[in-house]
Amino acid sequence: MKKFTVVVVGVGAVGVEMIRLLEKRNFPIKELRIFARRERDIVIDNKTYHVNSISPDGFESADIALFAGTEGEKGAAVQFAHEAIKRGCIVIDNGADFRLKPDVPLVIPEINPESLKNHKGLIANPNCSTIQMVVSIYPIYKEYGIERIIVATFQSASGAGRKAEVELLSQSKEILERLEEKNIKIGDKEFLENLFTKKELEAFSFQIAFNCFPCIGSFKEFDYTSEEWKMVKETQKILNDNSLKITATCVRIPVFRSHAEAIYIETKEKFDLERVKELLRNFPGVVLIDSLVDIPQPILCAQKEPVFVGRVRRDPFNEKGLWLWCVADNLWKGAALNAVQIAELLIKENLL
Amino acid sequence: MKKFTVVVVGVGAVGVEMIRLLEKRNFPIKELRIFARRERDIVIDNKTYHVNSISPDGFESADIALFAGTEGEKGAAVQFAHEAIKRGCIVIDNGADFRLKPDVPLVIPEINPESLKNHKGLIANPNCSTIQMVVSIYPIYKEYGIERIIVATFQSASGAGRKAEVELLSQSKEILERLEEKNIKIGDKEFLENLFTKKELEAFSFQIAFNCFPCIGSFKEFDYTSEEWKMVKETQKILNDNSLKITATCVRIPVFRSHAEAIYIETKEKFDLERVKELLRNFPGVVLIDSLVDIPQPILCAQKEPVFVGRVRRDPFNEKGLWLWCVADNLWKGAALNAVQIAELLIKENLL
């Protein structure tokens, strides 16, 4: 079997999972190069990897580069993706910089593998909240059509990177310690207040421990956040359907890993609930939990590959209204796994 | 000013807030009696209160009894409400036992004060998730009409009582301690797993710390939970409008206090966004946060009286589609405060 020189750029929350998944899935690797801003050694699952400082020459003779995805002008993708492509290396970028560019395929392998065929060296990985929603709704979209989607998300701290997970952990610890030290009891006023000043906050604008807030990313048109627009525009691009109406409220909650979404779908045609469940059960990448006892939830989905879908039920007041509750590891299917799956598909389809 | 003999039944999470609010709002109290299953002293805001063991005679010559609300056959309301009423004491019950009975008014003072007039000694306090939703949507409902509501909730542990708050606290502590002891790092597999056996769970069926799950109450018709049905049926009763379509997904999140809700409204008539904000701004009991910097969130709303509404914005794809994000203290406006406000209204309207 042919083997490939693979580059991983970034060793934050997503980069580490990319390396872990390349190993776990026995990706045909000839040489693995890991780049970040700063040279160092890192340990993943008891194995030490050397991380080199990123430079254009590092992509020389490489086949595939997975960019873990710090976005924006100072991010690795904007600075180095074209250097990789220039050297014949195909880039799969997990960041948002290129996702909506017309000549960049935005790919979920289960949904639109065909769009890979026209790639020009750069392929974009969709946003975490988009991927798990599109995987969950797609079998229904295919069978009945979807008029619109109204979705509220429950997103974990890790979606904002490793430093955000650390902030959730350290804030939680500090709050519990302060309560103990001061002998503050549940229900006391001091128990309930914002315990951090703006200066003490780094990853988020608000306290994340024991709190939640509906602002992920920055505010854009119609007072939607960038995260909410991603769910709209990326879904329309992936499905190649700008008529699909999507509206979202994206909320950060104090969970370390895995996003959950309460998705309300209005189908175009009337649906049969048992058929909907059958479609979900048979769709690759989905695990249907058709149970009222076991319900998909973040702590059960971390470092698992599928998108878990549960609470599939109809709206008693709308024969075309359908609720789904989906949970997936935002760093796996929502990021690193989907990127690795794109790389696997490139190999399978001889598109390298 | 006339003063009254007031009984509070229950000294759990809600009962304590009832006592606190009676004091804070200078309720005209002649005598305050506090009952629970077990006689004891409790301390609230540095003041000691004696709690007597509940008995039918305890309601003798009392004017108003606030039942904090353990529901079901063994709950105080089912066992003692009729004993109180028999003795001429008006009962305001925070539990769910009587809310949907035709001859029991279900009251939010800002919304349907007129329904109090026909009370027969028993008045029901709506569910926490219902109250804050109805207060938030009501000015819009009055002005434009509402075709339907699609809502996802983010509900705090305290909604399941004091023991649930304790469970969130103790689980959080234990998880952080185990991570430290075993030197488990963020991103390690052990970091992400369910750390408790079913036997170790009491208040909830699932781990609540650093997790979330869409099941509050028990499962009923259409696989909706009892909590989700409460939002439907109580809202229809309060608004006296069974044509109003409501569908909900109710989710527990690891927050101690205050519920948040992402409410999607489809109005009957087209609305003007600035007018919607004006209506909310002027509605009693609502504080509109028309800002993208300060956003309503649980830690900022605990032990505050209003329902805080933010992120008021239109659906770019539906001229009748409107999002609201509302947060309120589930133990205050969602329970104890609304009950005390009902009692105040009874006095004001000479309905005792």
| Residue B32's CATH number | 3.40.50.720
Collapsed DSSP state (helix, strand, coil) of residue A175? helix
Residue B205 falls inside a structural domain:
no
Tell me if chain A has a CB within 8 Å of the CB of B316. yes
More confident call, B223 vs B178: B223
Residue B207 falls inside a structural domain:
no
Whether residue A22 sits in one domain with residue A64: yes
Looking at B200, B221, B248, the residue that finishes a domain is B200
Residue A83 falls inside a structural domain:
yes
Whether residue B82 sits in one domain with residue B172: no
Whether residue B115 sits in one domain with residue B57: yes
Rg (CA), chain A: 21
Residue B85 falls inside a structural domain:
yes
Alpha carbon of residue A216 to chain centroid: 13
The partner residues of A106 in beta bridges, in order of sequence, read: A124
Whether residue A247 sits in one domain with residue A147: yes
Residue A29 falls inside a structural domain:
yes
- Per-residue confidence (pLDDT) for residue A196, from 0 to 100: 83
Residue A205 falls inside a structural domain:
no
Whether residue A298 sits in one domain with residue A240: yes
Tens of pLDDT, residue by residue over A53-99, are: 999 999 999 999 999 987 777 789 999 999 999 999 999 999 999 99
Residue B191 falls inside a structural domain:
yes
Tens of pLDDT, residue by residue over B63-72, are: 999 999 877 7
Residue from B128, B250, B301, B326 carrying the catalytic annotation: B128
Whether residue B258 sits in one domain with residue B145: yes
How would you write chain B as a 3-class SS string?
Answer: CCCEEEEEECCCHHHHHHHHHHHHCCCCEEEEEEEECCCEEEEECCEEEEEEECCHHHHCCCCEEEECCCCCCCCHHHHHHHHHHHCCCEEEECCCCCCCCCCCCECCCCCCHHHHHHCCCEEECCCHHHHHHHHHHHHHHHHHCEEEEEEEEEECHHHHCHHHHHHHHHHHHHHHHHHHHCCCCCCCHHHHCCCCCHHHCCCCCCCCCCCCECCCCCECHHHCEHHHHHHHHHHHHHHCCCCCEEEEEEEECCCCCCEEEEEEEEECCCCCHHHHHHHHHHCCCEEEECCCCCCCCHHHHCCCCCEEEEEEEEECCEEEEEEEEEEECCCHHHHHHHHHHHHHHHHHCCCC
Residue from B89, B119, B250, B259 carrying the catalytic annotation: B259
- Most B CBs within 10 Å, among A317, A318, A327, to test the B interface: A317
- Most B CBs within 10 Å, among A14, A148, A153, A210, to test the B interface: A210
- Per-residue confidence (pLDDT) for residue B257, from 0 to 100: 95
Whether residue A111 sits in one domain with residue A37: yes
Whether residue A295 sits in one domain with residue A148: yes
Q: Which two tokens stand for residue A351?
A: 């598109």
Looking at B200, B225, B251, the residue that finishes a domain is B200
Instruction: Indicate which CATH number applies to the domain containing B313.
Output: 3.30.360.10
Counting the structural domains of chain A, the total is 3
Find the domain containing A233 and state its range: 130-160+212-330
User: pTM higher than 0.95, yes or no?
Assistant: yes
The predicted complex's ipTM stands at: 0.96
Whether residue A292 sits in one domain with residue A144: yes
Whether residue A152 sits in one domain with residue A54: no
Looking at B152, B172, B200, the residue that finishes a domain is B200
Within 8 A of A148 by CB-CB distance, chain B residues are 317-318
Whether residue A186 sits in one domain with residue A147: no
- Residue A119 near residue A90, CB atoms below 8 Å: yes
B317 phi-psi bin (left φ>0, alpha ψ -120 to 50, beta other): alpha
- Residue A127 near residue A108, CB atoms below 8 Å: no
Residue from A119, A250, A259, A326 carrying the catalytic annotation: A259
Within 8 A of A212 by CB-CB distance, chain B residues are 154, 253, 255, 260, 297-298
- Per-residue confidence (pLDDT) for residue A230, from 0 to 100: 98
Q: Which residue of B has its CA nearest to A170?
A: B176
Is the predicted pLDDT of residue A39 greater than 80, yes or no?
yes
Residue A225 falls inside a structural domain:
yes
Grade residue A227 by pLDDT with cuts at 50, 70 and 90.
very high
Catalytic status, residue B259? yes
A213: amino acid identity, one letter: F
Whether residue B223 sits in one domain with residue B181: no
